[in-house]
């Protein structure tokens, strides 16, 4: 089966490749050109010169600090998710009580809550506990909204651990906690790295929560920096594209190393 070449699929795939790759090409090409060259050549042209001035300008406008902030937020979100999700997923998979089933349903319903829906009370809450304009104030809600999807993914992987292994552990007299530390965590490494990547993406790419919950330059994250850069230097297209490109580099590096974890995690969301 499927031996004849599928020309329709081939054409469609090539078209989509152009749609995905061309903008990325324009971005890379523009970011290494000076503004005069860029406006002379137009966006869809081979770059004639090469300069790193755009990147320097981006850093001069404060992006170094924004990167640092984003890194702190990302690390915080990943930390919280890795701390609270594994015990939860373990209980969901292994406990046979009615209450854990209910809690799992509760987290599944949580998948449907959009951040926009709760942003006003979140603003109120973060304000009243004195976390407004702090990085912790971004980390906590971002991590909370990453929980449902991470729980779904991790409990999916934990289900693959066979009952025999649990039985062997319990024959050896291992406690629940010991089983968790010695059996469940080591065998869920794949799932753990998937949810870490997911949490990191949420932390790195978050926009609305930082927009609403911070205001000063010292707590600004990269996504907000991009937005600001665009509104302030709207005519400096190469500069803006250089900034966008810089914001992508860390994610691309993670993608390079964690592609499998990420793709399989996403496939599991709807593919079973």
Which range of residues in 48-56, 59-67, 185-193, 238-246 is near another protein by CB under 8 A?
238-246
User: Using the rule CB under 8 A, is 168 a contact of another protein?
Assistant: no
* Smallest separation, CB 54 to another protein (Å): 12
- DSSP assignment letter at 245: H
User: Using the rule CB under 8 A, is 105 a contact of another protein?
Assistant: yes
What contacts 174, CB < 8 A, 6 or more positions away?
182, 183
User: Toward another protein, which CB reaches closer, 45 or 75?
Assistant: 45
User: Using the rule CB under 8 A, is 215 a contact of another protein?
Assistant: no
Which range of residues in 52-60, 71-79, 174-182, 188-196 is near another protein by CB under 8 A?
174-182
The secondary element (H helix, E strand) that includes residue 12 is helix 7-31
User: Using the rule CB under 8 A, is 55 a contact of another protein?
Assistant: no
Structure tokens given for 6? 């599928």
User: Using the rule CB under 8 A, is 257 a contact of another protein?
Assistant: no
The residue from 74, 104, 135, 214 that contacts another protein (CB under 8 A) is 104
* 8 A C-beta contact, residue 221 and residue 210: yes
CB atoms within 10 A of CB 120: 10
User: Using the rule CB under 8 A, is 43 a contact of another protein?
Assistant: yes
Within 106-135, which residues bind another protein (CB under 8 A)? 106-108, 110-125
Within 2-31, which residues bind another protein (CB under 8 A)? 2, 4, 6, 9, 12-13, 16-17, 19-21, 23-24, 26-27, 30
User: Using the rule CB under 8 A, is 143 a contact of another protein?
Assistant: yes
User: Using the rule CB under 8 A, is 201 a contact of another protein?
Assistant: yes
* 8 A C-beta contact, residue 191 and residue 153: yes
* Smallest separation, CB 78 to another protein (Å): 15
Which range of residues in 47-55, 58-66, 88-96, 188-196 is near another protein by CB under 8 A?
88-96
CB atoms within 10 A of CB 166: 15
Largest Cα–Cα distance of the chain, in whole Å? 76
DSSP per position, 108-128: HHHTT--HHHHHHHHHHHHHH
Determine the Cα–Cα distance for residues 157 and 187; give it in Å rounded to an integer: 9
Classify 206 as helix, strand or coil: coil
Taking alpha carbons only, the member of 73, 78, 62 closest to residue 246 is 62
User: Using the rule CB under 8 A, is 60 a contact of another protein?
Assistant: no
What contacts 193, CB < 8 A, 6 or more positions away?
258, 261
User: Toward another protein, which CB reaches closer, 75 or 174?
Assistant: 174
* Smallest separation, CB 33 to another protein (Å): 12
The residue from 1, 46, 50, 186 that contacts another protein (CB under 8 A) is 1
């Amino acid at each position: 089966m499927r031996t004849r070449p599928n020309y329709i699929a081939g054409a469609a795939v090539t078209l989509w490749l152009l749609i995905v790759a061309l903008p990325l090409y324009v971005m890379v090409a523009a970011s290494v050109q000076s503004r005069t060259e860029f406006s002379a050549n137009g966006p869809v042209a081979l770059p004639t010169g090469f300069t790193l001035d755009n990147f320097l300008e981006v850093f001069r406008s404060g992006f170094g600090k924004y990167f640092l902030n984003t890194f702190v937020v990302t690390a915080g979100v990943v930390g919280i998710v890795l701390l609270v999700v594994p015990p939860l997923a373990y209980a969901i998979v292994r406990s046979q009580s009615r209450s854990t089933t209910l809690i799992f349903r509760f987290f599944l319903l949580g998948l449907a809550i959009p951040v926009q829906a709760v942003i006003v009370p979140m603003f109120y809450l973060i304000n009243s506990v004195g976390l407004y304009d702090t990085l912790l104030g971004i980390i906590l809600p971002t991590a909370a909204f990453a929980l449902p999807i991470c729980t779904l993914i991790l409990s999916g992987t934990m289900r693959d651990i066979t009952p025999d292994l649990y039985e062997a552990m319990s024959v050896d007299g291992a406690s629940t906690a010991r089983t968790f530390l010695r059996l469940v965590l080591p065998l869920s490494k794949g799932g753990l790295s998937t949810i870490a990547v997911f949490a990191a993406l949420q932390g790195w790419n978050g926009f609305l929560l930082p927009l609403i919950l911070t205001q000063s330059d010292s707590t600004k994250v990269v996504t907000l920096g991009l937005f600001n850069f665009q509104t302030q230097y709207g005519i400096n297209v190469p500069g803006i594209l250089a900034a966008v490109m810089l914001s992508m580099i860390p994610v691309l590096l993670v993608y390079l190393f964690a592609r499998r974890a990420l793709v399989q995690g996403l496939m599991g969301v709807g593919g079973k």
